[in-house]
Amino acid sequence: MDRGTGGRVVSVTLERPPPTPPPLRARSGGILEWITTTDHKKIGLLYIGTTFLFFLAGGLMALLMRIELAEPGLQVLTKNAYNQLFTIHGTTMVFLFIAPMGLGLANYFVPLQIGAPDMAFPRLNALSYWLFLAGGATILLSFFASGGASAAGWTAYYPLSGPQGSPGPGVDLWIMGVLLASASSVMTAVNLMVTAFLLRAPGMTMWRLPLFVWNMIITSLMILVSFPPITAGLSLLFIDRHLGGHFFDPASGGSVVLYQHLFWWFGHPEVYIMILPFFGIVTDIIPVFSRKPVFGYLGFVFASLAIAGLSMSVWAHHMFTTGAVLNPFFSMMSFLIAVPTGIKFFNWIGTMWGGQIRFDTPMLWCLGFMLNFLLGGITGVMVASPPIDFAVHDTYFVVAHFHYVLAGGSLFGIFAGLYYWFPKMTGFRLSERTGKAVFVLVFVGFNLSFFGMHLLGLRGMQRRIADYPADVGWTWLNQIATLGTVIMGIGVVLFAWNVLEAFRGRRPAGDDPWEGYTLEWSTTSPPPEHNFTWLPPIRSERPLFDWRQRDKDMGAEEVRK
């Protein structure tokens, strides 16, 4: 089958691949090789490794905060240190871990899943990574600036983040770091979109794209629409701080609420930028482990598009208590966004329904993802109602809600993806037993950490306090939460061991350990430079499944003869 795409002719053989494709080993990586690489897989690995280190840093900050909160009174931290920690914890998890981890996995797997040799703009891709690293370093190293890191919260609301509220360099470094990271995200978004639109292998039509690729296209779209406003907002903040601007200063006719509009116009789409990639991963994994095609492919894509559209019109639900946006429009839109999100649950259930589900580690993480994220989604509908938000806004109820979405959801999706693709990226198999132990520890630890926070919020514990009174009945719930965080921490350490052990054990994974459906499983593990020496014909969104069936059907015919 020869077919031109955009003037480019790629030939695809229908013959069976040679039994063992000659290993086209990439030049083994000295440090210079990693610094100068433009290979999407190496850049992907750099992203995944770096974001994981940032995750460990952010997790350590969370652990410190939880230890402080285990008892009323101040034991291990000062108030100021606590404020820096929750500011940088939030910033790290949002800007340096979850979103870029999605982009890192996309870097590695979007080209592979569409049968492309690399990203569309390999050098731009390298630039994205290095800008991201510079941004991350700027944010994390700001702890060592005079006066410490920013202590204005990850939202950096004006006037607290203004020249009087936060005079030190912490906020400036924070602004610079976030601007670098967002510039990097915009470049990656352009790169991913062009790659997915123009570099698809012959036969890979848009409606045969793996759903991870679809969701990355839509995520990229959201990045392109939502990062310019925060870039503008933070630039204006910097001008107000240092160049005598008064954009947000009410004493000179500026508007405090304007900052929040600019921030959340980015901030709400960002929530979906942090979850759609993992919706995509989970929706690639569940069919493979259920031995069925995904249920409702078209519905899933349109639901993602609906989420992207609606996510642009709900930002003010973060601002109900400012009294500036009591307009019910934002509430209505926020309720509606639950509908496409709900559709995805039915896609997953419909895929599992009637299947033959194998609970290997990737699928276990998907199950955990669904169980946690569902509660986050339900409480999300609650806080979309302004009167309920008046009660729970800025309390631990909201902290519980978004951790069920971002830790229970995105983090579990990240683990699902890492367990699913680790064999492909390294060529080695992870120990299933250790992996299952990691899952149990993180799942139990996560729920212990965050379920009780709903109750804390309803009982009136507000966010962002290092200390709380002993006589309000919050202590035991806080102790459970701290215990849960410690258990989660043990789980993460065990995960690190799981990975190290796999590199030491060197158990070969084979090209296709899970009987996957998508093109990345048709090449070697790890794939050679430029990815493919052979591609199966692409006639559906499951080219490899079709190929295996063809084998089995031919085998059956031979038996009949």
Partner 1 sequence: MRRWAAVGLVGLSACAPEGASSQGQDISDLYRVFVYVAIGVGAIVYGLILWSAIRYRRRSDALPKQTRANVPLEIVYTALPILIVLGLFVLTFRVERDVDRVASEPALVVNVSGFQWGWRFEYPESGISVVSTPSEYPTLVVPAGETVRINLSSNDVIHSFYVPDFLFKRDTVPGQPNRFDLLIPEPGRFRGACAEFCGVDHGEMNFWVDALPATEFDAWIEERAGAS
Compute the least distance from the CB of residue 381 to partner 1, in Å.
7
Compute the least distance from the CB of residue 200 to partner 1, in Å.
21
Cβ distance to partner 1 smaller for residue 383 or 499: 383
Compute the least distance from the CB of residue 86 to partner 1, in Å.
9
Residue span 519-558 as binding mask against partner 1, x where in contact by CB under 8 A, dash where not: ----------------------------------------
Instruction: Please give the Cα distance from 10 to 418 (Å, whole number).
Output: 31
The contacts of residue 200 (CB under 8 Å, 6+ apart) are 5, 114, 115, 116, 209
17 in contact with partner 1 (CB under 8 A): no
Exposure pattern of 189-228 as b/e (b: 16+ CB <10 Å)? bbbbbebbeebbbbbbeeebbbbbbbbbbbbbbbbebbbe
Take residue 419 and report the two structure tokens written for it: 């367990």
**How many Cα atoms occupy the beta-carbon half-sphere of 153 within 13 Å?**
15
Neighbours of 549 (CB within 10 A): 11
List the one residue out of 231, 256, 234 whose CA is nearest residue 246: 256
Compute the least distance from the CB of residue 293 to partner 1, in Å.
5
Take residue 394 and report the two structure tokens written for it: 């800025």
The contacts of residue 53 (CB under 8 Å, 6+ apart) are none
Instruction: Please give the Cα distance from 498 to 136 (Å, whole number).
Output: 26
Instruction: Please give the Cα distance from 109 to 44 (Å, whole number).
Output: 8
Compute the least distance from the CB of residue 171 to Cu ion, in Å.
18
> Which of partner 1, Cu ion, none is residue 518 near (CB under 5 to 8 Å by kind)?
none
In the complex, the residues that contact Cu ion under the rule CB under 5 A are: 268
Compute the least distance from the CB of residue 79 to partner 1, in Å.
5
Instruction: Please give the Cα distance from 53 to 129 (Å, whole number).
Output: 14
Between the two ends of the chain, the Cα-to-Cα distance in Å is 29
329 in contact with partner 1 (CB under 8 A): no
Compute the least distance from the CB of residue 89 to partner 1, in Å.
13
Take residue 302 and report the two structure tokens written for it: 């349109």
For residue 380, give Cα distances in angstroms to 140, 238, 337, 391. Answer: 30, 32, 10, 14
CB-based contact 532:462 (threshold 8 Å): no
480 in contact with partner 1 (CB under 8 A): no
Compute the least distance from the CB of residue 261 to Cu ion, in Å.
13
User: Which stretch, 58-66, 186-194, 196-204, 357-365, contacts partner 1 (CB under 8 A)?
Assistant: 357-365
> Which of partner 1, Cu ion, none is residue 391 near (CB under 5 to 8 Å by kind)?
partner 1
Cβ distance to partner 1 smaller for residue 33 or 515: 515
Chosen residue from 357, 437, 480, 486 binding partner 1 by CB under 8 A: 357
Query: Exposed/middle/buried for 7, CB within 10 Å: 0-12, 13-18, 19+?
Result: exposed
> Which of Cu ion, partner 1, none is residue 268 near (CB under 5 to 8 Å by kind)?
Cu ion
Residue numbers 390-409 binding partner 1 by CB under 8 A: 390-391, 393-395
| Beta-bridge partner residues of 5 | 8
Residue span 124-163 as binding mask against partner 1, x where in contact by CB under 8 A, dash where not: ---------------------------x-x---x-xx---
| Beta-bridge partner residues of 2 | 11
User: Which stretch, 52-60, 123-131, 202-210, 333-341, contacts partner 1 (CB under 8 A)?
Assistant: 333-341
> Which of Cu ion, partner 1, none is residue 459 near (CB under 5 to 8 Å by kind)?
partner 1
Compute the least distance from the CB of residue 315 to Cu ion, in Å.
6
Cβ distance to partner 1 smaller for residue 353 or 503: 353
Cβ distance to partner 1 smaller for residue 31 or 251: 251
Residue numbers 54-93 binding partner 1 by CB under 8 A: 79-80, 83
Residue numbers 236-275 binding partner 1 by CB under 8 A: 250-251, 254-257
The contacts of residue 554 (CB under 8 Å, 6+ apart) are none
Compute the least distance from the CB of residue 167 to partner 1, in Å.
12
Cβ distance to partner 1 smaller for residue 392 or 502: 392
Instruction: Please give the Cα distance from 93 to 274 (Å, whole number).
Output: 10
470 in contact with partner 1 (CB under 8 A): no
Instruction: Please give the Cα distance from 112 to 39 (Å, whole number).
Output: 12
Size of the site for partner 1 (CB under 8 A): 85
Residue numbers 484-513 binding partner 1 by CB under 8 A: none
Instruction: Please give the Cα distance from 410 to 376 (Å, whole number).
Output: 11
Cβ distance to Cu ion smaller for residue 269 or 287: 269
List the one residue out of 557, 540, 535 whose CA is nearest residue 292: 540
> Which of partner 1, Cu ion, none is residue 431 near (CB under 5 to 8 Å by kind)?
none
Compute the least distance from the CB of residue 176 to partner 1, in Å.
22
Take residue 293 and report the two structure tokens written for it: 């095609």
Length of the chain in terms of residues written: 561
Instruction: Please give the Cα distance from 472 to 463 (Å, whole number).
Output: 15
Chosen residue from 77, 199, 204, 466 binding partner 1 by CB under 8 A: 466
Cβ distance to partner 1 smaller for residue 9 or 339: 339
292 in contact with partner 1 (CB under 8 A): yes
